[in-house]
Amino acid sequence: MPELPEVETVRRGLQPAMEGSKILKAEARRKDLRFPFQKDFVARLEGQTVTGLGRRAKYLMADLGSGDVLLMHLGMSGSFRVLDDHGSGTPGQFHHPRSEDRAHDHVVFHMSSGAAIVFNDPRRFGYMKIIARQALEEEPLLKGLGPEPLGNEFDAAMLARSCFNKKTSLKAALLDQRVVAGLGNIYVCEALFRSHLSPRRLAATLSTKKGEPTDHAGRLVTAIHSVLNQAIKAGGSSISDHRLTSGELGYFQHSFQVYDREGEKCQTGGCSGIVRRFVQNGRSTFWCPKCQK
């Protein structure tokens, strides 16, 4: 499933075509995706200007002139592509075809910018929902989400407070969207490796008995910032379904230092360890047992 860097990459690709542009026509070509579309879904979109296109955790959020917000989630296989007036995109150097079956083009936004924004989702795990902005704080899909890992409020002190007295593993804590929003399996593995912290370490070790951040918390926050920013710059990671809006592949997967590198030599300078894999909370964890403590 796309994680924060992939969703942020998609947001940046959609922004020039959507932000400041009016939705002249909206098409919902089926009654549902993962969830049914609202009965007034199309009516609440048509004629509305997209005043801003943001992201919260793994959600895209389009602010509309009406005061509504269009919440969009890519699910497992969802992707957007931007078509010009002639119905063609402009694929770049890393272009690979996504789903070629146009039967999976489930939602289309025709914009006053001249672009058509097409949402294709073969597995239909993605979803869209329109929410009144004043109701966002109580929206079940968003309520309880933790801080944005690239936001100003996310620092070692906040992470230490969130992990204070937690009995879970450090990896499980970081995957908990209430602790920090938007992180997934790939970037948690990478951040733990860069900070030389074991995924099996207790989350509580990020704070002292008084709730103050330890050195581990500081190193981990720095690693999270580093890996996310690097991944966004690279267009995210294309493991199976992720593509940019132009059809290009993200290429951060070529920079993985530990994820999916089972049996390879550890990339930490001076370490003779071998990357291992084990299943943790139902997910594959990749780590170096020698330098991650």
Q: How much is the pTM?
A: 0.87
Instruction: Let me know if 3 is a catalytic residue.
Output: yes
Q: Please tell me what DSSP assigns to residue 63.
A: E
Instruction: Let me know if 2 is a catalytic residue.
Output: yes
Instruction: Give residue 79's pLDDT.
Output: 87
Instruction: Give residue 237's pLDDT.
Output: 59
Selected catalytic residue, list 44, 55, 58, 171: 58
Span 63-79, pLDDT tens digits: 999 999 999 999 988 88
Q: Is the pLDDT of residue 172 over 90?
A: yes
Span 87-108, pLDDT tens digits: 555 433 333 344 456 789 999 9
Instruction: Let me know if 58 is a catalytic residue.
Output: yes
Selected catalytic residue, list 27, 283, 289, 290: 283
Average pLDDT over the chain reads 89
How far apart are the C-alpha atoms of 79 and 70, rounded to whole Å?
16
Instruction: Give residue 42's pLDDT.
Output: 98
Please check whether residue 177 is in contact with residue 184, taking contact to mean a CB–CB distance below 8 angstroms.
Answer: no
∠ CA 212-218-222, rounded to 5°:
150
Q: Which helix (H) or strand (E) holds 177?
A: none
